[in-house]
Structure 1
Amino acid sequence: MKPDQLLRSILPEVLIDNFDIDRFEKSESRFDIWLDEKNEQLSEDKYNKNIICYDFGDYRTIQDYPIRGRATYLHVRKRKWLDWRQFAGKNEQ
């Protein structure tokens, strides 16, 4: 079984499709999984060169169902997207 298949059977599919696993920690009582949004633009913005990814937001923590008797915490952060034209226009004023 490939790692991707294993993750799809454990985590919600929407997370695997839209996020990359950045880090994983296991302790006696819990699993912590850090997920970063993939660097993929929405289809309507894909060919707009003015839309750029410039940073990540803060992590949001979600407590998921326990896995093998350990609490599971998903630490998720989304990318920040910017329409460069709007930003450049504000600086010119």
Structure 2
Amino acid sequence: MKHFEISGWHDDSVKIEVWLDEKHYLERSDYKSGTVISHGFTDEKVIQDFPLRGKPVYLHVRRRRWYDKATGETFSYTYDNLTAEGTKLTPEFVAFLKEED
């Protein structure tokens, strides 16, 4: 939850759904440059996570898009270490978090 915040959730008798949006957080170098601004979100990816209380869990994840006014470049951050001790991420979720826009 260091990089994402819950923007919504739904729990019914069939499934659990959680919507996650990347937080508005600039890396230090981008903050110091003063030219990088938030530029919306990537398209939502739906990832099936491990079941919870016998129900499938679906994560609706949106990564933040950033725009550098100095270079005209649009980009998203990638993350290498998002697992808590004793947990694992699915290969699909890891690939999503590492993909470049």
TM-score norm. by structure 2 comes to 0.68
- CA displacement, residues 1-32 of structure 1 (integer Å, 9 cap, x when unaligned): xxxxxxxxxxxxxxx11001000001111100
Inter-partner Cα distance in structure 2 for 1:43 and 1:75? 27
Aligned Cα RMSD in Å? 0.9
Pairs aligned (count) = 72
Unpaired runs of 5+ residues, structure 1, are 1-15, 88-93
User: What is the percent sequence identity of the aligned residues?
Assistant: 35
Between structures 1 and 2, the one with greater helix share: 1
TM-score, normalization by structure 1 = 0.73
Question: Relative contact order (C-alpha < 8 Å, sep 6+): which is higher?
Answer: 1
Gaps of 5+ in 2: 73-101
Partner of 1:22: 7
Give per-residue Cα distances to partners, 1:21-76, cap 9 Å, x unaligned: 00000111110000000000112212121011111111111110000011000110
**Rg: which structure is higher?**
1
The runs of at least 4 aligned residues of structure 1 exceeding 6 Å deviation read: none
